Each structure stands twice: as structure tokens, then as C-alpha cells.
Amino acid sequence: MKRLLVALACACATVGAGAAAIPATGTVEVWFSPWDDAEGAIIRHLGQARHSVHVQAFLLTSRSIAKALQDAHLRGVKVEVLADREMLQKGDNSLVPRLAAAGIPVWLETRYASAHNKIMLIDAEEERGIVITGSYNFTWSAQARNAENLLILQGNPSLARRYLANWRRHRDEAQKYQGATNEQQ
């Protein structure tokens, strides 16, 4: 695990202009679907969210994950979602409209050919904040049919703040979801 944390810190140091090395701290959970229950790990962490959940999704069709997000929202956790507009328009099974109907703020990313991030930030402004990332889309297929990877990084405040700043940058460029009117554009 220590090597993985050092590799993560080195990777952060070389990505993009102005990127800086982030010290390796905290814990790392590594999940590989379909063998591991990555979806269950996500749901478990969402169930422990206390203040905030920030989602950046290419595709969100998992009913279990959508329910966990709605449950967090009902517990008073601030849940916000960024989604790829094109995948929402193409995906008959997208649960983004259901999240919006439940009162969860949703924005659609329109600037990029593909808003391909798959990220969840749980209590990102806290010392034990969580960054969930990897190739894993928030879909049933990602758990049951695809070969995917998922990292759950907890207790690295610098990393969580960096991800949250990037999430906010994307949100500031995104279009507020208004329901069917956006889907028809």
C-alpha cells in the first residue's frame, strides 16, 4: 500500500501545469470489478457521509448508488451532481433526472467532447474526507459485466481539497439541469 501512495503522489506531481506533489497520507482501498463488490464499497461510504457528497459522473444508472445518494440527501447531507450532458441525452437508463426530481442539484457538463470523470467526494473538506475515483462508472454494468478499477482514498486532506477545487471548476463551467428542457437541446 505504501508504494501505491508514493506512486499516487508522484503521479500528482507530473500531471498538468502547476500541479504539485501531494504528500501520501491516509488509507487506500483498491477494488476490481466484477470480482470485488466495488458498488457495495461506494454505498457503504455514502452511508457514512456526514456533510457533503460531490459527484462527477459520466454515466449513472446504478439504482443502488442513486438510492444511496438520495438517502444521504434525505439525511441532510449536501449532495451535488455533475453529469455528462451527452450521456444523459443518450442514456435511456440515466438516473440523473430522478436525483434532480428528489431535490439534488445537478449540473450538466457541456464544454467537453466527453466529461469522462468518475468521482465521488465525501466530506471532502474534512480531515478524513474521501476521494473515490477510477475507471468505474456508477452503473450496474461496471459492477456485474465490466473489468473496472476503483480507488477509495481517505484521510488525505490536500488530495480531497484538490479534487474538490477541480469539481467546483467544472461546476462553474456547467449548465444547471432544468429537467426535460436540457435533454431536448
Residues known to be catalytic: 116, 118, 123
- Which phi-psi region, left, alpha or beta, contains residue 94 (left: φ > 0; alpha: ψ -120 to 50)? beta
Backbone angles phi, psi at 15, to 5 degrees: -95, 120
DSSP character string of 95-124: -HHHHHHTT--EEEE-SSS-----EEEEST
| CA 74-75-76 angle, 5° bins | 90
